[in-house]
Amino acid sequence: MTQDRRLGSTDYQQVLHRDIISQGVQFINHFTTTAQCCPSRASLLRGQAAHNINITNVHAPGRISSSSSPSHQIANNAKKTRGNYDKWHQSGLDQDYLPHWLKKAGYRAEYVGKFLNGYNVINANITPKGWDHVDALLDPYTTYYNTPVMSQNGERPVYYQGWHSTDVVRTKALARLEYLLSQNQPYYLQIAPYSPHVQNDVNQPIPLARHLDLFSDAKAPRLPNYNPPDSLQAQKGGWVRSIPLMNQSSQDWADSSYRARAQSLQGLDDVIEDVVAMLTAAGTLNNTYIIYTSDNGYHVGNHRLPGGKALFFGEDTNLPFAVRDPGVPKNKTSKIPGVHLDLVPTFLDIAGLPETE
């Protein structure tokens, strides 16, 4: 489970294409119903739309979004936003969701990486329920790539000063996978790096140092909806039609952001490569479902917006979704529509849990 990925953003991921997409099926009409991280993740874990569980924002109840970005105007219009890990826990939603259900089917369920917004250094002892093992990134450090802080099963937070978040999550996930492969039990392991989400203080992702020299000429795709002329912008709805043209500075920033995102994706490829290598060495690759997706999409220069998410456009809602499974054809593209809400019932069907359960 990655972050802020639009369909088409996988073009820079050679390993993803080699090890998952070319070995399975890519679904090009897969969507999130809420183009924001916390609501989308909660929806995926519960198999319910955000408005049905009332996790509709990234902030705790009563806190108003401080962002002035046009991408968050919808959130700013509300007097009270509703979301966050505190809401998830206090509402009792963590008593009945995916890991609990998988355990009924005899699976061991583990989680490594970003869980939900608002799981932080203060409430880390309130461990996400249901998981046999959880090692989660903690706010407010989640958004800072080179100062990640994590808590394992609610224990004292551990600070990894100077380590890149993606490598920390990768190392921890591989250690858990090694353990799971040693057990005589089916398992579900969700690996959730923070990349390529922006780092808040610079509003761009911070790639691993070993990838900084890549894609120096990459620019945001000049699609028809990239910084469109007035004749096209006027056809858009609501406040979007009044957004002014991006000036050269904004376009340069969009290109810089796009390059940083492409570089950051290489760290995700490292995760994929190591996971596939470990499964291959264990002889279980052909008995394992590998699913790759994102919580929401992201726009870069589209609709005159240099960068962001949370909108109703395809860049923000149409996500990469690929499945490697020994039972499906290789290197296939499917136009069958799907949403994240479909994943829980699909996982439980794979696990063999009866519908009555």
Active-site positions read 37
d(CA 90, CA 109): 22
3-state secondary structure of 191: strand
**Token pair belonging to 41:** 């993740």
Do 340 and 50 contact (CB within 8 A), yes or no? no
**Token pair belonging to 256:** 């810089």
d(CA 214, CA 302): 24
Of 282, 296, 291, 276, whose CA–CA distance to 328 is shortest?
291
d(CA 357, CA 344): 13
Of 223, 191, 354, 243, whose CA–CA distance to 299 is shortest?
223
Residue 22, number of CB atoms within 10 A of its CB: 14
Between the alpha carbon of residue 117 and those of residues 36, 285, 313, the distances in Å are 11, 32, 23
Do 317 and 152 contact (CB within 8 A), yes or no? no
Do 134 and 127 contact (CB within 8 A), yes or no? yes
Of 114, 6, 17, 78, whose CA–CA distance to 331 is shortest?
17
d(CA 324, CA 337): 18
d(CA 351, CA 254): 43
3-state secondary structure of 80: coil
d(CA 187, CA 256): 40
